[in-house]
Each structure stands twice: as structure tokens, then as C-alpha cells.
Amino acid sequence: MRAPLPSRLPILVRSYDGQQQLPVTYLVEQWKRALAAYPGVADVLENDQWSKQRDAAGRRSVGRNDVSRLIKATDMTNGLAARRAFVLIMAWGSGTSNTRSYRHVPRALAAPHCATRLVDTAATCRQGDLTAAYEAFSLPGVRRSFFTKWFAFAGRANDRDWQPLILDDRVLRTLNRTLATSTKTLASDRRWSRRYTAYVEQMHAWSNDLRREDISCSAERLEWIFFKQNGRPV
């Protein structure tokens, strides 16, 4: 089911006027140590095409647009290229605070089916079946907050008016607490695969509803606003 536009949502969106999503910094040496067994994959973390040296301490900076450019330049049928893209997405999603990624990403890369799973789920997202992609994704240590980042970048298709989105815990908190919206109710289903699909559909629907209120806010920007809000009241 589709939820009507919450009365608090236009207020929330307007409260972020003038604010933009900034690039994320990550610590190159920590990632290189964690991924020492995968030098052909980890080299993406020091490629000046996709990230920039930020300071003498070894921090580099990568923005959402940088990751999108990498995806556009990536042959998503190639397992090695897909794993490289996955590593940069995980670094972007982790920043300098989520040190668990130093353990989880190597575990995911070590899985025999890693490349196949990345390639196949990206293709399934591009074909429009988010539920099937969600049900098929399984890599050690990579849970919803991170594999939906993979969907949001690698699953984009240029010829449609909607795209996959990230559903991490902070976004979910804003849905649940700030807007009193349950993904289970949206999907009329307890299964997370269907709840994810319903969430993406609802975010795009709200983006369209906001346009009717003379507020321009893409579903992707809504997702970022929800992330920043992290469940706080409006």
C-alpha cells in the first residue's frame, strides 16, 4: 500500500534547504591492511579518478557522484571490476567511523560466490526486480544497510524514472520514529525483501507528492535527509 504524504515531511525537507551531502573520508592504510590479500581489488581505493588525497594522515575523500562515475565506467559483467566497485562503495559507506568494515569486507571478498553474487544482483536490480535481488544477496558480514548501497549504485538503470535506494538503520529510524511509517505496513508483508521494494516505491511516490507541493526533492535526496535526521523529531 502507498502512504499519503506525511504532514511533517515537507517541513523536514525544507529544514535541509541549502544543505548538501558531502564527500566521505576514509583511511587508506587501514583499508589496505584489511585487504592485503586482494591488491588487485583494493587498488581502487587510491585511484585519483574516483577519490582524492585529503591530508597527510592518509585520508582520502570520495563523494556520491564519484562512486556513480565509477559505476558508469565499470563493466558490471566482469567479476573483478564489480568487486573493485564494491570495495569503493563499502569505503564510502563506512567512512572513518565504521571500523567493522575492515573485517566484514575481506570476509565478503573471500566468499567463493562473491563476484557472481555482485554481478547477478546488480543485473537483477537493473531489470527492476528489487525483491529478487534482496532475496538473492548473501555475502558474509554484509547486511541490509550495506548491500542496499550496492543496489543503489550498481543497480541503476538509465532508462527508467526510479532507482534503487539505500535502506540503512538511520533511514529506517526516520521512517519509523519521525514519520510513523512502517515498511511492514507499506508492504503488507513481514518479509524484508518485499519491505525494501515497498520502501523504494514509497520514497519515489513521496518525491512526486512533494513536487505537487512545489518542493523539488528527489527520492535519493529524501533518502539522504532521512539518514541525516536519524529518527529525531521534526
Q: Which three cell numbers stand for residue 127?
A: 531489470
Residue 135 confidence (pLDDT) above 90: yes
For residue 61, give the H/E element and its range.
strand 59-62
C-beta of residue 147 within 8 angstroms of C-beta of residue 114: no
Residue 109 confidence (pLDDT) above 80: yes
User: Parallel, antiparallel, or unpaired: how do β-strands 59-62 and 52-53 relate?
Assistant: antiparallel
C-alpha span between 9 and 150 (Å, rounded): 27
Mean pLDDT lowest for which of 71-75, 93-97, 104-108, 183-187?
93-97
pTM for the structure as a whole: 0.96
C-alpha span between 25 and 65 (Å, rounded): 14
What are the structural domain ranges in the chain?
A: 25-129
Residue 25 confidence (pLDDT) above 80: yes
C-alpha span between 219 and 226 (Å, rounded): 10
